Amino acid sequence: MTPRRQQILDIAADLFAQRGFHGVSVADLGAACGISGPALYKHFPSKDAVLAEMLVSISEELLTVGRRRAEAAGSPTAAVEALIEWHIEFALAHRALIVVQDRDWSSLADDAREQVRALQREYVDVWAAELRRVHPDLTLDRARAMTHVAFGLINSTPHSGLLPDDQMHGLLHDMALGALVAPA
């Protein structure tokens, strides 16, 4: 990955998060990178391709690291906690990507959207499987629904910013644990 490509992806994440995919023109994005407009097409085939690469790559990272950490855990409860830790870590480190992922997901081209959906479903099922080990009487659909709710909980991070990151980390950890493990 050339540094310019990475710079474009990073800056695009911030701009898309602030103003939405359709609210950022290629001229805006170029200008924010210190180049201007059409120069983007030396690095990406289209504006949509920028969004697609951004969202596919983070979906892959969430899945592969999440799966690895869940496998490394010693018990189902430890696995759930590891998944919570990982997701919080990621969400705090990549606030902009979290916002773009669930706001502009629908602006993806059909094939990229399906790719992202498939990766997300796999990631959800990693969580759901561990939850069902912790709560054996849990339906698969109910476990998936709980996972979506937990994502909503953790992904709320970018909308608040009232607390410093380390305090926010602890708060999210406690609340996610309370929501997922305590009540059953």
In the complex, the residues that contact its own copies under the rule CB under 8 A are 18-23, 102-104, 106-107, 141-142, 144-146, 148-157, 159-160, 162-163, 167-168, 171-172, 174-180, 182-183
Minimum CB distance to its own copies, residue 128 (Å) = 10
Is the CB of 39 or the CB of 89 nearer to its own copies?
A: 89
Half-sphere exposure of 179 (CA within 13 A, CB side): 18
64 binds DNA (CB under 7 A): no
- 59: partner contacted, choices DNA, its own copies, none (Cβ within 5-8 A by kind): none
113 binds DNA (CB under 7 A): no
Among 6, 46, 156, 160, binds DNA (CB under 7 A): 46
Residue type, 62: L
* Cα distance between residue 62 and residue 124, in whole Å: 10
**3-class SS at 155?**
helix
Answer whether 154's CB lies under 8 Å from 176's CB.
yes
**3-class SS at 183?**
coil
Q: Please, what is the angle between helix 47-72 and helix 3-19, to 10°?
A: 90
Tokens of 42: 């030396």
28 binds DNA (CB under 7 A): yes
Is the CB of 6 or the CB of 167 nearer to its own copies?
A: 167
Q: 127, 2, 109: which is closest to 56 by C-alpha?
A: 109
- What is the C-alpha R_g of the chain? 18
Minimum CB distance to its own copies, residue 18 (Å) = 7
Answer whether 100's CB lies under 8 Å from 12's CB.
no
Among 9, 12, 17, 24, binds DNA (CB under 7 A): 24
47 binds DNA (CB under 7 A): yes
4 binds DNA (CB under 7 A): yes
- 64: partner contacted, choices DNA, its own copies, none (Cβ within 5-8 A by kind): none
Residues forming contacts to DNA in the complex (CB under 7 A) are 2, 4, 22, 24-28, 30, 35-39, 41-43, 46-48
